[in-house]
């Protein structure tokens, strides 16, 4: 038994550098996953309701123009609806995860949800305040561990200005002299999800909604 | 009409069952097996030992199912061809991969009622159609490429040869040699002349018909080939199979005309998938994609894309 998941996100910072190398529907190997995949898997397998090994990630659909969906594609309702509309083969995922940045737009989540309400695909739309990096920097202890260098901020990630968390993390990674993809993924692997949820309300909401949606989509995991 | 074609052990076609419509469009990434299908469809394709599936199969088996029955062919490369069953002749297939440079060539004057594989005898074919057909051909070409008002064949200074020429729209005394006109003009001339071939083949295969054509002309071309395949032009219906990578071409074909080719993940053999055009699920899906096969294909949701 497996749970087929696809992840759409802003860019390679979330989904890793391998996006677009496989045909839509093909399963991604572990080393092809990005920080967002790792976080999604950890959220789903929390509480042992869904075994981590059962969460399988697949290459998502591309935009109608044929490119890997990024940032603004996900805010375009006509494009997003298509990205969530699969035909039979490749088989549709059990859950599609859309992870976008709020970028200061408070209504973004409700706008995206309203626009895709009639799409039958089981989906979770997570909107990070202000951006995905806010989730990654939330657990200072684990960020320090991943960087191999001290990392601390005095402000709560969700109170930061737009791009502040992104730039803070980028600078810290550059100072540490490490590869951004590896550090981001390592943070996603190490971070204490409860700490992140405690500091980022958007992540707490996303985590709860993701698990609920996945369990509803895959009834056998509830037995 | 060929209703279906089954081929075993030919190149990457381990076992492929292809349903054919009057106009069929094969879509798939490089190396998906489109050219192999076109070659296999033609009974006259010469088969070499390296054409056997994985170089290990013993024989290539092909079955054409037509309106009138089945034709079975078994080929062992290097061995004498086994005669086909009496009364069962395979369909006559014309394979085309038109090349504008070859189409521009001067021809040694001789009657030719069939276009060569790369269009190398285009001048002879144009010269061999009837006067009425030549007028029609010129009208059709000039409506598609309104830079010209006529197309004809003219002797060259090289004894016994002739070549095409195209009359300028604004100066009727000015005729252009083939080297002076665009690739698209040459290709369109070749496509248009297909309706006048005598005798017409049963099926024409065309690789990458979209090359050098503006999308507007591509639509006209697809419409012309569809009419040819339905017997609305030409001497009788001639089935057409196209192989393409072109998203633009997909905008002009019907879902039921398309076959998406890919490779099987287990053994690498070519797979084929048709669109279930009458299925309500498909119709809902297609509606979401704004009834654009181009968009649906590029999204990767139908197969026939690289990496599959």
Predicted confidence (pLDDT) per residue in A29-68, tens digit: 999 999 999 999 999 998 788 999 999 999 999 999 999 9
Between chain A and chain B, the number of residue pairs with CB atoms below 8 A apart is 67
Specify whether the CB–CB gap between B120 and B105 falls below 8 A: yes
B305 interface with A at CB cutoff 8 Å? yes
Evaluated on CA atoms B38, B40, B43, B47, the torsion sign reads positive
Q: Report the alpha-carbon distance of residue B97 to residue B206 in Å, rounded.
A: 6
In Å, how far are A35, A137, B137, B145, B193 from B130, measured between CA atoms? 69, 79, 10, 22, 11
Q: Is the peptide bond before B31 cis (omega within 30 degrees of 0)?
A: no
Specify whether the CB–CB gap between A199 and A159 falls below 8 A: no
Q: Is the peptide bond before A130 cis (omega within 30 degrees of 0)?
A: yes
Please tell me the pTM assigned to this model. 0.90
pLDDT tier for residue B212 given thresholds of 50, 70 and 90: confident
In Å, how far are A88, A198, B233 from A22, measured between CA atoms? 18, 36, 43
Specify whether the CB–CB gap between B43 and B73 falls below 8 A: yes
Specify whether the CB–CB gap between B52 and B58 falls below 8 A: yes
Average pLDDT over residues B24-32: 94
Specify whether the CB–CB gap between A37 and A28 falls below 8 A: yes
Give residue B82's pLDDT.
65
Q: Distance of alpha carbon A213 from its chain centroid, rounded?
A: 15
Q: Report the alpha-carbon distance of residue B164 to residue B179 in Å, rounded.
A: 10
Average pLDDT over residues A145-162: 92
Q: Report the alpha-carbon distance of residue B161 to residue A200 in Å, rounded.
A: 81
| Alpha-carbon gap: A55 to the closest alpha carbon of chain B (Å) | 21
Cβ–Cβ below 8 Å for A62 and B247: no
Q: Distance of alpha carbon A189 from its chain centroid, rounded?
A: 13
Provide the ipTM: 0.93
Helices A164-176 + A180-190 axis angle, to 10: 110
Residues forming beta bridges with residue A27, ordered by sequence position = A58
In Å, how far are A7, A223, B263, B272 from B303, measured between CA atoms? 19, 34, 10, 9
CA neighbor of A183 nearest in space, from A11, A7, A13, A9 = A13
Q: Report the alpha-carbon distance of residue B102 to residue B187 in Å, rounded.
A: 10
A28 interface with B at CB cutoff 8 Å? no
Coil/strand/helix, residue B192: helix
Residues 33-52 of A with CB under 8 A from B: none
State yes or no: pLDDT of A153 exceeds 90: no
Give per-residue pLDDT as tens, A91-131.
899 999 999 999 888 899 999 999 999 999 999 999 999 89
Return the domain boundaries, chain A: 3-132+197-217
Q: Report the alpha-carbon distance of residue A49 to residue A56 in Å, rounded.
A: 15
Which range has the worst mean pLDDT, A185-199, B59-73, B115-129?
B59-73
B50 interface with A at CB cutoff 8 Å? no
Cβ–Cβ below 8 Å for A85 and B301: yes
Q: What is the DSSP string of B98-131?
A: --HHHHTS-EES----S--TTSTTHHHHHHHS-H
State yes or no: pLDDT of B86 exceeds 70: no
pLDDT tier for residue B303 given thresholds of 50, 70 and 90: confident
Give residue B152's pLDDT.
96
């Amino acid at each position: 038994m497996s749970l087929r998941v696809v992840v759409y996100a802003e860019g390679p910072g979330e989904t890793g550098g391998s996006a677009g190398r496989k045909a839509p529907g093909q399963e991604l190997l572990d080393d092809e996953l990005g920080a967002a995949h790792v976080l999604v898997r950890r959220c789903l397998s929390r509480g042992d309701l869904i075994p981590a090994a059962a969460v399988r990630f697949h290459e998502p659909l591309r935009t109608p123009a044929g490119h890997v969906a990024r940032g603004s594609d996900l805010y375009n309702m006509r494009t997003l609806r298509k990205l969530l509309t699969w035909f039979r083969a490749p088989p549709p995922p059990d859950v599609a995860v859309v992870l976008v940045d709020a970028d200061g737009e408070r209504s973004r989540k409700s706008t995206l949800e309203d626009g895709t309400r009639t799409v039958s695909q089981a989906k979770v739309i997570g909107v990070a305040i202000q951006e995905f990096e806010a989730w990654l920097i939330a657990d200072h202890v684990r960020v320090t561990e991943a960087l191999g260098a001290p990392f601390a901020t005095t402000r709560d990630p969700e109170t930061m200005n737009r791009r502040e968390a992104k730039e803070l993390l980028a600078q810290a990674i550059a100072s540490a002299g490490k590869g951004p993809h590896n550090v981001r993924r390592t943070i996603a692997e190490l971070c204490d999800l409860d700490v992140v949820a405690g500091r980022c309300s958007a992540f707490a909401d996303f985590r709860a909604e993701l698990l609920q949606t996945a369990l509803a989509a895959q009834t056998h995991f509830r037995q | 009409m060929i209703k279906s074609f089954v081929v075993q052990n030919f190149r990457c076609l381990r076992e492929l069952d292809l349903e054919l419509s009057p106009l069929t469009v094969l879509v798939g990434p490089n190396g998906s097996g489109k050219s192999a299908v076109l070659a296999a469809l033609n009974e006259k394709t010469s088969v070499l030992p390296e054409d056997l599936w994985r170089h290990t199969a013993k024989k290539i088996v092909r079955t054409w199912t037509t309106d009138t029955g089945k034709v079975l062919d078994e080929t062992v490369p290097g061995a004498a061809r086994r005669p086909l069953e009496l009364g069962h002749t395979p369909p006559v297939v014309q394979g085309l991969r038109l090349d504008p440079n070859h189409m521009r060539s001067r021809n040694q004057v001789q009657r030719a009622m069939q276009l060569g594989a790369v269009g190398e005898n285009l001048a002879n074919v144009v010269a061999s159609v009837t006067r009425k057909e030549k007028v029609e051909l010129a009208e059709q070409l000039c409506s598609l490429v309104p830079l010209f008002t006529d197309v004809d064949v003219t002797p060259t200074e090289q004894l016994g040869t002739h070549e095409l020429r195209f009359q300028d729209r604004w100066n009727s005394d000015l005729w252009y040699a083939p080297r002076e006109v665009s690739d698209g003009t040459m290709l369109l001339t070749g496509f248009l002349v297909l309706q006048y071939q005598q005798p017409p083949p049963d099926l024409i295969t065309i690789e990458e018909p979209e090359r050098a054509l503006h999308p507007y002309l591509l639509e006209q071309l697809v419409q012309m080939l569809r009419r040819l395949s339905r017997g609305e032009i030409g001497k009788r219906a001639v089935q057409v199979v196209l192989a393409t990578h072109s998203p633009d071409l997909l905008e002009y074909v019907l879902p039921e005309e398309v076959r998406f080719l890919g490779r099987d993940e287990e053994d690498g053999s070519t797979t084929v998938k048709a669109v279930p055009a009458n299925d309500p699920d498909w119709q809902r899906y297609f509606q979401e994609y704004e009834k654009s096969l181009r968009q649906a294909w590029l999204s990767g949701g139908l197969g026939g894309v690289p990496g599959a």
